[in-house]
Amino acid sequence: MKLLKTIMVLLVGASIIMAKNYLGAELYSKESVKYGRFEIRMRMVYGNGILSTFFLYYDNSWKGSPEPWREIDLEVLGKNNTGFQSNIITGNSGSQTHSDKFHSFNVKLNEGYHTYAIEWTPDYIAWFFDSKEVRRATGQQVIECREKMQSYRFNLWITSNSNWAGAFNPSVLPVYQYINWVKYSSYTPGQGPNGSNFTFAWQDNFDRFDSQRWAKANYTFDENLVDFSPDNIVVKDGYLILCLTNNQNWGFNGTIPKDDYTSIDQNATVKAGKGNFEFSAISSELQFRIPQREQVKISLYSLAGKKLGETDLGYFNAGTHRVNMKKWFNLQAPAIAEINAGNIKDHLTIFPGL
């Protein structure tokens, strides 16, 4: 956020006084991490003055010196629905350093779902849009971000800074930010699939609200025209919905626009797990290599993260094996296979035509 995040919560007993005319939403993680890759499938919001975001944040940043400010942002500014702003914020609450850049695309981000990603490593921070890298930052701010673990957050709110995001017009309310899924891969230098630096850790498809991972904000901050309300965070039909409303009509009562994503890299062969698994779309054949006798199971997910099915292939002896996937699945669209063979677990994309 390009603002001073001074938390101002008014309490009367256990109740929170919502003093502002509008209600927004912030979802934040209960855990903090250091480094990793976050990938999010979401549909953003359009409207002057409105911010719809995903960001990483050191939870004590707002307290001020001696606590440092550490933040990594991906923000859609309401006055422009064809791009997002990337930013790193360091320093402290009284003296911040920003490195914001705006990235434009030839699509309207409020009219469809897109895949956004942030990679955070000790040496660089990178932002991606629909699998394409749009920025890679290195240097002093990246070094400073090594100091603290950060939580991961979504929020939807209104800024009073019209020069930044435009002058807010309440006639656009209510508006909603839709998140289909979020995926996290931990930073494992050289130990990920094909020797990459990231290893899949978890994915939340929002089939339910995971209270072990997430919490709902009930505060506000300077230059924010909304109070964050837990009632404006809704999980429904496999989607997370952040709501921006007036303070009389909160929550979500509309129809969720479905994610119809079908675009994918059409490689004929996909490898994963440092050569442990290989799938050929040409022959519909999965090849895998295991060091000892193991039970092999495959779970199949849509690109939106919805589970399509699961099958047990049985036990295989040590060595290399080939399985014709036509025997197990009849795909009509690209899908993600999660393969489990003892201690070997990986994900790869398979294609229709099986």
Q: pLDDT, tens digit, for every residue of 71-127?
A: 999 999 988 999 999 999 999 999 999 999 999 999 999 999 988 999 999 999 999
Question: What's 291-348 look like in SS3?
Answer: CCCEEEEEEEEECCCCEEEEEEEEEECCEEEEEEHHHCCCCCCCEEEEEEECCEEEEE
User: Is the pLDDT confidence value at 163 over 70?
Assistant: yes
Residue count of the chain, please give it: 354
Query: Could you tell me which of 288, 270, 279, 272 has the C-alpha nearest to residue 326?
Result: 279
**Is residue 40 located within the same domain as residue 164?**
yes
Q: Count the domains in the chain.
A: 2
Which tens digit of pLDDT belongs to each residue from 37-52?
A: 999 999 999 999 999 9
Residues 131 and 223 in one domain: yes
Q: Which residue has the higher pLDDT, 78 or 151?
A: 151
Residues 6+ apart with CB under 8 A from 184: 33, 36, 37, 38, 39, 152, 201, 202, 203
Interatomic CA distance for residues 132 and 54, integer angstroms: 17
* 191 lies in some domain: yes
**Residue 230 is assigned to a structural domain of this protein:** yes
Q: Which residues 6+ apart lie within 8 Å of 127 measured at CB?
A: 74, 86, 103, 116, 117, 118, 133, 134, 135
262 occurs within a structural domain: no
The pLDDT tens digits for 191-238 are 877 678 988 888 898 989 999 999 999 999 989 999 999 999 999 998
For residue 101, being part of any structural domain is answered with yes
* Residue 63 domain flag: yes
The whole-angstrom separation of Cα 32 and Cα 151 is: 4
- pLDDT range class, residue 141, cuts 50, 70, 90: very high
Whether 18 and 50 map to the same domain: the answer is: yes
Q: For residues 300, 242, 260 and 256, what is the CA-based torsion angle, rounded to 10 degrees?
A: 110
Q: Reduce the DSSP state of residue 36 to 3 states and report it.
A: strand
Question: How many CA atoms, within 13 angstroms, populate the side-chain half-sphere of residue 265?
Answer: 9
> For residue 288, what pLDDT band results from cuts at 50, 70 and 90?
confident
Domain that holds residue 188: 11-246
Give the model's pLDDT for residue 5: 40
Spatial contact of 249 and 258, defined as CB atoms under 8 Å apart: no
Do residues 287 and 205 share a domain?
no
Six-digit token string for 344: 């070997």
**pTM, entire model:** 0.72
Does residue 223 have an active-site annotation?
A: no
Q: Which residue of the set 26, 75, 119, 278 is catalytic?
A: 75
Q: Verify that 180 and 55 share a domain, yes or no.
A: yes
**187 vs 79: which has the higher pLDDT:** 187
What's the token pair of residue 54? Answer: 């995903």
Residue pair 219/229 in contact (Cβ under 8 Å)? The answer is no
| Averaged pLDDT, 273-290 | 64
Residues 189 and 287 in one domain: no
Predicted confidence at residue 331, as pLDDT, reads 60
206 with 273, same domain: the answer is: no
Average pLDDT over residues 130-157: 96
Residue with tokens 């409207």: 47
Considering the domain architecture, whether residues 224 and 115 belong to the same structural domain is answered as: yes
Q: Which residue in this structure is represented by tokens 């991961």?
A: 152
Q: What is the pLDDT of residue 260?
A: 60
What's the CA gap between 56 and 178, in Å, rounded? 19
CATH of the domain at 285: 2.60.40
Show Cβ contacts of residue 9 under 8 Å, excluding neighbours closer than 6 positions: 16, 218, 219, 220
DSSP annotation string for 114-140: EEEEEEE-SS-EEEEETTEEEEEE-SH
Of the pLDDT bands very low, low, confident and very high (cuts 50, 70, 90), residue 348 is: low
Domain boundary among 246, 281, 307: 246
Residue 174 lies in a domain: yes
- Do 299 and 225 belong to one domain? no
**Is 71 in the active site?**
yes
Domain annotation covers residue 255: no
Longest dimension (CA), the chain: 67
CATH label of the domain that carries residue 229: 2.60.120.200
In whole angstroms, what is the distance from residue 173 CA to residue 171 CA?
6
**88 and 235 belong to one structural domain:** yes
94/21 same-domain check: yes
Whether the per-residue pLDDT at 283 is higher than 90: the answer is no
* Of the residues 246, 280, 304, the one at which a domain ends: 246
Task: Report phi then psi at 226, rounded to 5.
Answer: -120, 155
Among candidate residues 71, 147, 285, 294, the one labeled active-site is: 71
pLDDT for the residue 3: 43
Task: Assess if residue 254 is contained within a domain.
Answer: no
Place of tokens 């705006």: 102
Whether residues 49 and 141 share a domain: the answer is: yes
Gap between the Cα atoms of 90 and 69, Å rounded: 5
